[in-house]
Amino acid sequence: MSAFPQADPERLWSTLQTMAALSEPGGGVTRLAYTRLERAAHEQFAAWMSDTGCEVRVDSAGNTIATRPGRNDGPAVGTGSHLDSVYHGGRFDGIAGTMAAVEVARLLHESGTVTELPLRFVAFAAEEGARFGQACCGSKLAAGLSARAELDERRDRDGISLADAMRSVGIDPDRAAASAWDPGEWSAFVELHVEQGSVLETARVDVGVVDLISGSTRIELTVLGQASHTGGTPMRGRADALAAAAEAVLIAERLALDPRHRGTRASVGRMVVEPGSITTIPGRVTFSLDVRDVDADRQRLAVAEIVARLRAACLRRGTRLEARLLADTSAVVLPDWVRNEVTAAATELALPYRVLTSGASHDAQMVNRVVPTAMIFVPSRHGLSHVPEEWTEPAQLAVGTDLLAASMLRLDARAAMLAAESATTGGAA
């Protein structure tokens, strides 16, 4: 059993509640990507991290990175998650991981622990795809995976581009690519997150270790029909855009339920009906389709099949279909050696764990492109997430944080050992 101090559930809880208060009014937490409220959350994170003796900087994508020096310079072990939310979301998604990072830094500071190499604690900007369609904007830039043009192309429901949203909070989109990480500065990364599913709750296990993160393809579909009088227009021969769009919802559901698609999730989460009048047949309906899968080919084939079936339905109904790609990400397999360090840390702490797959997207899947990454999950009550009812017990958050701290210390020791070996073999290791 490690002598490292345990996380304080009450302190973690009050840290989390302070973040929850940074929200738009209305149900749940609304703290959207690249808004003043998200920046305020980053400033709060920066202040807490400075109090633990870390050196804090905000990179050119708006990610906040706190560094705690080690005994020697060298590649750092990192942790972190995001501080933005969906519309009317919960208190835990993203926040659990960033608050766990704050708690680990506090425990290190209070116990006077000196690690072999530096540690870094990161709050990523704009993880949620809820506003712009694209998920993980800050970590995608950190991974060097975003083209400048994307920042102009991705727009929110009010037509504001990602680039303009960045400018509105003082971030220069033309400089955002400079945030790309140098892989040589990192040895490993571990993100803690709430599960957003019910595997851990069902198994009555407090921590999960992720093997695979689902990908997602998101498109915006527009059905164009003919608006007209609901009383004067006969039922036959109508070009009702909403009736066609309703078919899309059911086509997507039916396809994802087909046994050949076991594991595909397809959802229409947003629909705008125009002109939106009780007495006018809808002439135009715009809606989103989000298809997620752990199999990238099946994910894209599912989207193509849904669009093809819908196009046929639209033709039958005398309407026209337009489709526009919003975002497209493949599933990511996390490297087993980092996961093995996390599971070894769980064994050291005598914590039962479960290895499981993530249905949601995470910064970890972007970070893993440049730094070998692991993920720790803590349970979500009733599997609920992206809703105000999202809940994780403070004691479960604390257990996850203990595992995070122990994993980081193991990974730090491993990185230092490899650095020492490399030094004695003249860098050939």
Pick from 166, 175, 138, 183: nearest CA to 60: 175
Q: Does 361 bind ligand GLV (CB under 6 A)?
A: yes
CA dist 73 to 77, 84, 261, 276, Å? 12, 32, 48, 61
For residue 85, the partner it binds in ligand GLV, Mn ion, none, with Cβ less than 5 to 8 A by kind, is: none
SS (H, E, C) 285-336: EEEEEEEEECCHHHHHHHHHHHHHHHHHHHHHCCCEEEEEEEEEECCEECCH
Is there a contact between 194 and 272 (Cβ–Cβ < 8 Å)? no
Task: Phi first, then psi: give them for residue 66, nearest 5 degrees.
Answer: -110, 130
Smallest separation, CB 290 to Mn ion (Å): 12
Task: Phi first, then psi: give them for residue 158, nearest 5 degrees.
Answer: -100, 5
Six-digit token string for 330: 């493949």
Looking at beta carbons only, is 285 or 327 nearer to Mn ion? 327
- Contacts of residue 110, defined as CB under 8 A and 6 or more positions apart, other chains included, come to 5
Q: Does 332 bind ligand GLV (CB under 6 A)?
A: no
Q: Does 84 bind Mn ion (CB under 5 A)?
A: no
Q: Which amino acid is at 296?
A: A
Task: Phi first, then psi: give them for residue 47, nearest 5 degrees.
Answer: -65, -45
Q: Does 80 bind Mn ion (CB under 5 A)?
A: no
Beta bridge partners of 245: none
Smallest separation, CB 83 to ligand GLV (Å): 13
For residue 38, the partner it binds in ligand GLV, Mn ion, none, with Cβ less than 5 to 8 A by kind, is: none
Looking at beta carbons only, is 60 or 357 nearer to ligand GLV? 357
Six-digit token string for 233: 């227009």
Smallest separation, CB 267 to ligand GLV (Å): 10
Task: Phi first, then psi: give them for residue 198, nearest 5 degrees.
Answer: -120, 20
Q: Does 129 bind ligand GLV (CB under 6 A)?
A: yes
Q: Does 294 bind ligand GLV (CB under 6 A)?
A: no
Q: Which of 74, 90, 94, 138 binds Mn ion (CB under 5 A)?
A: 94
Q: Which residue has the tokens 């604390």?
A: 398
For residue 135, the partner it binds in Mn ion, ligand GLV, none, with Cβ less than 5 to 8 A by kind, is: ligand GLV
Q: Does 408 bind ligand GLV (CB under 6 A)?
A: no
Of 89-118, which residues contact ligand GLV (CB under 6 A)? Answer: 93
For residue 341, the partner it binds in ligand GLV, Mn ion, none, with Cβ less than 5 to 8 A by kind, is: none
Interacting span for Mn ion (CB under 5 A) from 85-93, 106-114, 136-144, 271-279: 85-93
Smallest separation, CB 394 to Mn ion (Å): 19
Interacting span for Mn ion (CB under 5 A) from 27-35, 50-58, 93-101, 199-207: 93-101
Q: Does 93 bind Mn ion (CB under 5 A)?
A: yes
Interface residue list for ligand GLV (CB under 6 A):
93, 128-129, 135, 360-361
Interface residue list for Mn ion (CB under 5 A):
93-94
